[in-house]
Chain A
Amino acid sequence: NAGVMQNPRHLVRRRGQEARLRCSPVKGHSHVYWYRQLPEEGLKFMVYLQKENIIDESGMPKERFSAEFPKEGPSILRIQQVVRGDSAAYFCASSPPAGEETQYFGPGTRLLVL
């Protein structure tokens, strides 16, 4: 069974460009979470989605960041007009429908903004 897949693994963008990060959850998992890890820090929750719905986006910056988890296809975290402070590792996690608390993490996308 494939685990959580994220791509790209590394992404370099110049200031002002857009970054699109993709996450394919474990097959059968309907809950997706995005976390951001700044250098030498712990992970910070950004957003929690179920298929076609945003459940909790309390950790998302109000501007430039958006996330979706469509009925078909991967979850996308989109960062518009990136700035150097967006440089971080972005991790996606997934979990099954209610009843299983464990989240399974992907390998992360390391974003570098020049």
Chain B
Amino acid sequence: GDSVTQMEGPVTLSEEAFLTINCTYTATGYPSLFWYVQYPGEGLQLLLKATKADDKGSNKGFEATYRKETTSFHLEKGSVQVSDSAVYFCALSNFGNEKLTFGTGTRLTIIP
């Protein structure tokens, strides 16, 4: 079945550091890939997505590129802020409009 493997956390960085959170997937066909962010006590918010190979999703300074050859969708940000502290989830959906398969989440803490 489909699965998502995500970089283990927690990750602690200083403000303005470069961020990478690794995500790889296993899926049949051509899944869509997502990054969701969860702030403390809240639900998940879509951060970015990509629906086909070589697509780059971007939002709020975050980027991720759909790499079919390496089955990866790593999340990057050039300069993190304290407000980026949250849990980040990589996810995929297959065959459109169906269930999301999530990674285990990576807790990110940014210190001033």
Residues on A with beta carbons closer than 8 Å to the beta carbon of B102: 35, 42-44
Number of A-B pairs, beta carbon distance below 8 Å: 59
Inter-chain CA distance A70–B101, complex, in Å, is: 26
Whether A101 contacts B96 by the Cβ 8 Å rule is yes
State which of B32, B43, B96, B101 has its C-beta within 8 Å of the C-beta of A106: B43
Within A47-106, the residues touching B (CB, 8 Å) are 48, 56, 59, 91, 93, 95, 98-106
Chain A contact patch, size range:
20 to 34
Contacts A42-B89, A42-B105, A43-B89; is A104 near B100 (CB within 8 Å)? Answer: no
Whether B99 contacts A45 by the Cβ 8 Å rule is yes
Contacts A42-B89, A42-B105; is A101 near B99 (CB within 8 Å)? Answer: no
Residues on B with beta carbons closer than 8 Å to the beta carbon of A48: 98-99
Residues on A with beta carbons closer than 8 Å to the beta carbon of B45: 105
Is A108 an interface residue, CB under 8 A from the partner?
A: yes
Is B42 an interface residue, CB under 8 A from the partner?
A: yes
Chain B: minimal CB distance from A34 (Å): 10
Q: Of B42, B43, B49, which is in contact with the most chain A CB atoms at under 10 Å from its CB?
A: B43
Whether A31 contacts B97 by the Cβ 8 Å rule is yes
Is B46 an interface residue, CB under 8 A from the partner?
A: yes
Is B93 an interface residue, CB under 8 A from the partner?
A: yes
Residues on A with beta carbons closer than 8 Å to the beta carbon of B32: 101
Inter-chain CA distance A35–B105, complex, in Å, is: 14
Residues on A with beta carbons closer than 8 Å to the beta carbon of B93: 101, 103
A: residues with CB less than 8 A from B are 4, 6, 31, 33, 35, 41-45, 48, 56, 59, 91, 93, 95, 98-108
B: residues with CB less than 8 A from A are 6, 32, 34, 36, 42-46, 49, 51, 89, 93, 96-105
